């Protein structure tokens, strides 16, 4: 069975947690496409040109340590605005999406550009303050030296770049189900996402 779940939204809205939970629930494979851009950004920080970095990317690069730092997040957002970088990464994502057994991909342009025919599309969002608070806690837990205001400013800068760029900007697909997790527990958000996928699977 080929079945694609596309989950988009801004940073720290909860799409990673929801994607992993949906994939585990249905036994689907999961690809965090942000890691592809983070791994590309990492290579650029190490001296590659953005296009070289995207073309040379290997699946093992997505497992590298240190991809979750604020510095790499900003580098990812910068390389992600370059059309040639995005073009070099399309095929890998589409192949993953159409693999046998079902796939969940989360990112910014999955429902709009990578998989416009995905069987289920979700756009997960939350207020800036809620997202910044979640990300701040994660970073502090990971031992990073950050401030709440700094994290909020970083998130806003990244959102502005990701949604303002010309190449595949972050935006909800017209047919995406919107999920605002600002006042939702993670369990409730996962339940809503699982229900949307189950309803589509039941249609056959
Ligand atoms: O989801 P994330 O925070 O790990 O993503 C890091 C950056 O990568 C994000 O700021 C924008 C970019 N990105 C993108 O442009 N398209 C995607 N499908 C996923 C991420």
Hey, what domains does the chain have and what are their CATH numbers?
Answer: 4-187 (3.40.50.300)
66 vs 144: CA distance, rounded Å: 11
Name the average pLDDT for the chain: 97
Of all protein residues, the one whose alpha carbon is nearest to atom 15 of ligand 1 is: 80
Question: E strands of the chain, at which residues?
Answer: 4-8, 29-32, 103-107, 120-125, 177-180
Residue 52: per-residue pLDDT: 97
Strand partners, 4: 103
Minimum-distance ligand 1 atom for the alpha carbon of 161: 10
pLDDT digits (tens, 9 = 90+) for 152-193: 999 999 999 999 999 999 999 999 999 999 999 999 999 999
15 vs 129: CA distance, rounded Å: 16
Q: What is the pTM of this model?
A: 0.96
Task: Determine the straight-line distance between the first and last CA of the chain, rounded to whole angstroms.
Answer: 10
What spacing in Å lies between the alpha carbon of 73 and ligand 1's midpoint?
8
Beta carbons within 10 angstroms of residue 190's beta carbon: 21
């Amino acid at each position: 069975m080929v079945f694609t779940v596309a989950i988009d939204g801004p940073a720290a809205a909860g799409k990673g947690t929801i994607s992993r939970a949906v994939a585990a629930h249905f036994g689907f494979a999961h690809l965090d496409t942000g890691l592809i851009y983070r791994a590309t950004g990492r290579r650029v920080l190490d001296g590659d040109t953005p296009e070289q970095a995207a073309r040379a990317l290997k699946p093992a690069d997505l497992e590298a340590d240190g991809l979750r730092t604020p510095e790499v997040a900003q580098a990812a957002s910068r390389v992600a605005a370059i059309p040639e970088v995005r073009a070099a990464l399309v095929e890998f994502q589409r192949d993953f999406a159409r693999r046998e057994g079902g796939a969940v991909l989360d990112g910014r342009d999955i429902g709009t550009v990578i998989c416009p025919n995905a069987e289920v599309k979700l756009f997960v969002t939350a207020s800036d303050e809620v997202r910044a608070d979640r990300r701040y806690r994660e970073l502090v837990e990971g031992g990073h030296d950050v401030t709440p205001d700094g994290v909020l400013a970083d998130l806003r800068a990244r959102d502005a770049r990701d949604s303002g760029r010309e190449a595949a900007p972050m935006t909800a697909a017209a047919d995406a189900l919107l999920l605002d997790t600002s006042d939702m527990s993670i369990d409730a958000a996962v339940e809503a996402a699982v229900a949307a996928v189950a309803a589509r699977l039941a249609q056959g």
